[in-house]
Amino acid sequence: MTIIIKTPQQIEKMRVAGKLAGEVLDYIKPFVIAGVTTEELDKLCHDYMVEVQGTIPAPLNYAPKGHRPYPKSICTSVNHQVCHGVPGERKLKAGDIINLDITVIKDGYHGDSSRMYYVGEPSIQARRLCDISYECLWLGIAEVKPGAYLGDIGQAVQKHAEKNGFSVVREYCGHGIGQSFHEDPQVLHYGKRGDGVKLEAGMIFTIEPMINAGKRDIRQLGDGWTIVTKDHGLSAQWEHTILVTESSYEVLTLSAGAPPQPTLAG
């Protein structure tokens, strides 16, 4: 495992990329309404990234080993879709929940963030799932500081999800990020305190828990990308890119329209 400790100059570039990723999520919010297709959301984000921000959509044609190239510029995961949902002709309808996952490249550095959006008024269960998942994200973030361990993050996320009757997807995780989309280390959203890599200042990685209303089991659709829950239960995910600072953490993907940090009891 090779974990890249970022220099001050690299950190500054990551701050810029992270903020730009958050701003795409701000921009698209008014367009997430009943009747819009996920493909239309993809085009709006693509054009905003390329024409307004001067960024590159990192997912477009991204092809990790064993995968066909990803065909779109963002991921759109609706209801029981867990992650990597491929935009297409599906029209959003009232009551849907959707995760939009944005990764931009600016001056060679990646900014990666995702948010949940409601289409109209969600069900009580859907709203609660999104709220608890957001709390899971921030409980994980709150564990980040030099000398802590990746297992501290995973344990905090898993404990809160399971305490509230939800389950944590285990096949996908957060990841180091910088000049590459995916770097070491892998950031699991379950685990035991004190396990795994010890954190040190200059590390940058994502925390992006995927929380299911039902069981944690998942499967892949025939498009080779979209992941869904096996039991068709709802799934929610939030993501930020985090810098380990000298004493704590910095969230690099915050933007003006980001939802406020939740009040956490721990």
How sure is the predictor about 263, in pLDDT bands with cuts at 50, 70 and 90?
confident
Before 64, cis peptide (omega within 30)? no
Q: Tally the domains of the chain.
A: 1
pLDDT tens-place string over residues 49-70: 999 999 999 999 999 888 899 9
- Yes or no: say if 237 and 116 are a contact pair by the CB < 8 Å rule: yes
Range of the domain at 71: 8-251
Q: Which of 225, 235, 216, 237 is nearest to 81 (CA)?
A: 235
Q: Averaged over 163-189, what is the pLDDT? A: 97
Instruction: Assess if residue 154 is contained within a domain.
Output: yes
Helices (H) and strands (E) in the chain, counts: 4, 15
By the 8 A CB rule, do 243 and 252 touch? yes
The arithmetic mean of pLDDT across residues 175-200, rounded, is 97
Decide if 132 is inside a domain. Answer: yes
**265 part of a folded domain:** no
pLDDT of 135 strictly over 60: yes
- CATH number of the domain enclosing 82: 3.90.230.10
The gap from C-alpha 114 to its chain's centroid, in whole angstroms, comes to 4
Specify the 3-state DSSP secondary structure of 135.
Answer: helix
CA dist 83 and 225 (Å) reads 8
Would you say residue 1 lies in a domain?
no
Q: Is residue 185 part of a domain?
A: yes
Q: Is residue 262 part of a domain?
A: no
| 3-state DSSP helix/strand/coil % of the chain, to nearest 5 | 25, 25, 45
- Report the Cα 243 to chain-centroid distance in Å: 15
1: confidence class by pLDDT, cuts 50, 70, 90? confident
Q: Is residue 121 part of a domain?
A: yes
What is the C-alpha separation between 56 and 48, in angstroms, rounded?
10
Query: Nearest-5° angle of CA 34, CA 37, CA 38?
Result: 115
- Asked if the structure places residue 85 within a domain, the reply is yes
